[in-house]
């Protein structure tokens, strides 16, 4: 059994989610200890437990210690097969982070999952980033991934529902496409219609000026008791997002998403800083290469974790960072 120090390097939930995903795809049982030891609230959170359950469903895995607050987790994978899974985070915990753990496993044999939780929450990519940045970056593997948002869920209430269908994919070397698509998606729930429109208008104005192209805009509004808003902008394998919060004008939400994307576009590399570590598991399994503006702590953590499973990522630092396998 492979023993993994959950407090190493970044020391967060990324280690747990990625370790159980790697365990499932390699068949190597793992014991993760000192989970999130240096965090303000150490141990597993509800979102981490939901991610572990989702991976276990996809591979008929067995778990020990998968409960909130636990600082030790044992995961013993079974056979990966096509499955239909249901995962309820139980809080406004991130649905996209649960999908990130489940997706590499589901791509092996295909499957479906329905997850309840938060679609756009602090400290996590939005569901729109996942759909429009991460999935397309997977190339041919990503073409069989269909994400459907049934209901938006925002912090602190949660209550969002997302269904994902995945067709099995033959591994294909990662290569970032040069022909890029750009877009803005502005969303709101339980708020007046003008909120999402103001977010979108400001983001569109700034991005159109900076990129000198007319970027498509999509506005999604829904009624309900859950109140919240978000704006996600992307161009190729770079994206940025912003969440609405009390006292923060809608125009500022759109501006934050737009300026975040503009900064990423003006930086070196083919992918943004967040995508650089999210792709590493797929790079290790499929091969290929891509570039990023820097070697982040999350990326360093993933390279360390992958090496424990026998995957070696080549990293060349210079004006930009080249990741290859």
- Tell me the catalytic residues: 298
CA distances from 196 to 23, 156, 193, 229, 231 (A): 41, 19, 6, 7, 8
With b for 16 or more beta-carbon neighbours within 10 A and e for fewer, the 62-91 pattern comes to ebebbeeebbebbbbbeebeebebebbbeb
Q: What is the DSSP string of 127-191?
A: HHHIIIIIHHHTGGGGGGEEEEEEE--BTTTB-EEEEEEE-------EE--SS--EEEEEEEESS
Task: Judge residue 114's burial from the number of C-beta atoms within 10 Å of its C-beta, 0-12 exposed, 13-18 middle, 19 or more buried.
Answer: middle
Give the span between the Cα atoms of 90 and 86, in whole angstroms. 12
């Amino acid at each position: 059994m492979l023993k993994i120090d959950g407090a190493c390097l970044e020391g967060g939930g990324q280690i747990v989610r990625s370790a159980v995903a790697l365990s499932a795809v390699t068949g190597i049982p793992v014991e993760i200890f000192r989970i999130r030891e240096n965090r303000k609230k150490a141990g597993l959170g509800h979102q981490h437990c939901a991610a572990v359950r989702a991976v276990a469903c996809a591979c008929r895995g067995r778990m020990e210690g998968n409960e909130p607050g636990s600082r030790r987790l044992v995961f013993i994978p079974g056979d990966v097969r096509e499955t239909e899974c249901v995962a309820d985070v139980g809080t406004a915990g991130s649905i996209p982070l649960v999908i990130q753990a489940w997706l590499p496993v589901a791509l092996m044999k295909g499957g479906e999952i329905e997850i309840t939780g938060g679609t756009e929450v602090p400290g996590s990519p939005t569901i729109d980033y996942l759909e429009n940045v991460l999935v397309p970056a997977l190339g041919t593997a990503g073409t069989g991934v269909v994400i459907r948002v049934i209901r938006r869920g925002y912090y602190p209430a949660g209550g969002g529902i997302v269904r994902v269908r995945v067709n099995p994919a033959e591994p294909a070397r990662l290569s970032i496409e040069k022909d890029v698509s750009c877009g803005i998606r502005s969303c709101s729930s339980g708020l007046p219609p003008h909120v999402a429109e103001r977010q979108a208008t400001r983001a569109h104005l700034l991005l159109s000026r900076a990129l000198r192209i007319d970027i498509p805009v999509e506005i999604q509004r829904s009624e309900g008791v859950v109140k919240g808003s978000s704006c996600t902008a992307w161009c190729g394998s770079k994206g940025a997002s912003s969440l609405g919060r009390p006292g923060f004008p809608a125009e500022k939400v759109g501006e934050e998403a737009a300026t975040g994307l503009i900064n990423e576009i003006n930086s070196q590399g083919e992918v943004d800083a967040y995508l650089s570590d999210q792709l590493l598991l797929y790079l290790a399994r499929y091969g290929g290469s891509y570039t990023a503006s820097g070697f982040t702590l999350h990326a360093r953590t993933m390279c360390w974790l992958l090496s424990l499973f026998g995957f070696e990522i080549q990293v060349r630092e210079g004006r930009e960072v080249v990741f290859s396998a």
